[in-house]
Structure 1
């Protein structure tokens, strides 16, 4: 090693590179390898038994996995669209505010300050069928006389999870879209008004093309979050009742730690990553197209 010389930047980065390799790269390689083995936590020696693509073949024929996969896609689609619409509405309202805009921006960020675990506990209490705030409010208003089993009925439980996800993350869309609205020049809007455009036409053909890249950035961020949703579902329903709210990553965790099938769980995890990759590539292409359109028109 005496004759080996290295630059100072490389030596300075070496500790960080070693830590990164120890906590990220090595576990990734090990988990990827174990997806080709029948590795079980109760039988550690099975990690050395190579079975090829047998786990992946079983996965393709696993009905529970595909149901969880489809349920995750549905949650992602519903959450992203509603968060974008609500975030757009909030951003436009705050942008129109003539006073107290800083306070409104701070309040708009408030849901982001909670961890997903706290959000899960919060909404689990709110949707409780006996002492929950939602049922108490509905009964006090005379809308219903009986307690609604929000977290017991499968469809209602899925709805409750979607509400928790939307509440906690709508501010991501609102903040990014508001940044686009504040950065937008006012001259094109004034010109559209002079030309006789209606408010809807002004928004559709002037405002929306400009803020579209900001919306796609938020969609990219949130698609990754929802595709790996775990905390809120784990706290609120734990995948129940009877697996009706089981998502990809709750199924992966159950397979890995409850059933001790770590090899199969890692196969599920790597197959599930495809969902995140597909949505990320899709939104990046949309973002590039929107940026090109803004660059051409503006």
Structure 2
């Protein structure tokens, strides 16, 4: 029986393995199983009724799900592109600063210190019809006479949510791109200037290819965040008005807890995970290609 004694590393890791199994693996397996059942919170016995792929087939014909899916992809596209452009601009400005760069880096990270729930409350107040900072500023400047219903009209509410997401997470792009700029050797830039390249050509063909992998890392992180966006939308609009800002995970939560259809909600959740996986694979491929290009050129 001596030979059957588990090795010491396994015994040391065993408590962590047990905790992970209980906290992560078991709930995941139960949620996956329940996605193949008509499980309702009000009818616990339905957890043991197996219906196969019926929930997943229902999702394919569910227009509300596809509208939420489309809005999530739209928010992801808008947020990632604008955050990258703004983050790139901030990083380049901070990198050029000769004094107070540490203070600027700290200030740049300030929005990341707020929780998404607090950001949601912040922007809900700012875009309020009557007492909101945005409407008061626009009316004081004479740009509009009447209050704009930012959180009541569907398209405007989506814009308000996008602004909140972009404000809270642009710093991720700025910090990672700034790290790339600070790590970049100066000789290629000096050589480009000696060869007569314009500032745009230097950026386009020298600077940007080097910092591109850092931007793709930020995109990977943010794509996972936006694909499961919930807190800010829940606080600002709760998916309204009339479901015009309903995203994937607000729909999943509503289906699970308001309607009590936990089996259907879990099926939606696992279907939604495919979106996160798709974007992660896409950006990892882009990251690998950018690293290969840098290795070949530098």
Whole-angstrom CA distance in 2 between matches of 1:2 and 1:124: 65
Whole-angstrom CA distance in 2 between matches of 1:216 and 1:241: 34
The residue number in structure 2 matching 1:272 is 272
> Is the deviation greater in 180-189 or in 6-15?
6-15
- Displacement of 1:145: 1.1
TM-score (norm 2): 0.99
Whole-angstrom CA distance in 2 between matches of 1:276 and 1:254: 20
Establish whether residue 134 from structure 1 lines up as the match of residue 137 from structure 2. no
The residue number in structure 1 matching 2:294 is 294
Whole-angstrom CA distance in 2 between matches of 1:60 and 1:296: 45
Whole-angstrom CA distance in 2 between matches of 1:19 and 1:115: 27
Whole-angstrom CA distance in 2 between matches of 1:49 and 1:3: 44
How many residues in Structure 1 have an aligned counterpart in Structure 2? 298
The answer for unaligned runs of 5 or more in structure 2 is: none
Establish whether residue 102 from structure 1 lines up as the match of residue 102 from structure 2. yes
Whole-angstrom CA distance in 1 between matches of 2:12 and 2:138: 61
- Displacement of 1:7: 1.7
Whole-angstrom CA distance in 1 between matches of 2:199 and 2:238: 46
Deviations 1:201-239 (A, max 9, x none): 000000000000000000000000000000000000000
Establish whether residue 212 from structure 1 lines up as the match of residue 228 from structure 2. no
- Displacement of 1:2: 7.7
The residue number in structure 1 matching 2:230 is 230
Establish whether residue 157 from structure 1 lines up as the match of residue 192 from structure 2. no
The residue number in structure 2 matching 1:26 is 26
Deviations 1:161-205 (A, max 9, x none): 000000000000000000000000000000000000000000000
The residue number in structure 2 matching 1:249 is 249
Secondary structure, counterpart of 2:84 in structure 1: helix
Whole-angstrom CA distance in 2 between matches of 1:156 and 1:92: 31
Secondary structure, counterpart of 1:20 in structure 2: helix
The residue number in structure 1 matching 2:6 is 6
Whole-angstrom CA distance in 1 between matches of 2:49 and 2:155: 41
The residue number in structure 1 matching 2:80 is 80
- Displacement of 1:75: 0.2
The residue number in structure 2 matching 1:53 is 53
- Displacement of 1:4: 3.6
- Displacement of 1:141: 0.8
Establish whether residue 169 from structure 1 lines up as the match of residue 166 from structure 2. no
Runs of 4+ in structure 1 deviating by more than 4 angstroms, as ranges, are none
Deviations 1:251-270 (A, max 9, x none): 00000000000000000000
Whole-angstrom CA distance in 2 between matches of 1:151 and 1:23: 38
> Is the deviation greater in 136-145 or in 109-118?
136-145
The residue number in structure 2 matching 1:179 is 179
Whole-angstrom CA distance in 2 between matches of 1:14 and 1:2: 19
Whole-angstrom CA distance in 1 between matches of 2:72 and 2:210: 30
Whole-angstrom CA distance in 1 between matches of 2:273 and 2:99: 45
Whole-angstrom CA distance in 1 between matches of 2:152 and 2:17: 47
Deviations 1:31-70 (A, max 9, x none): 0000000000000000000000000010000000000000
Secondary structure, counterpart of 1:146 in structure 2: coil
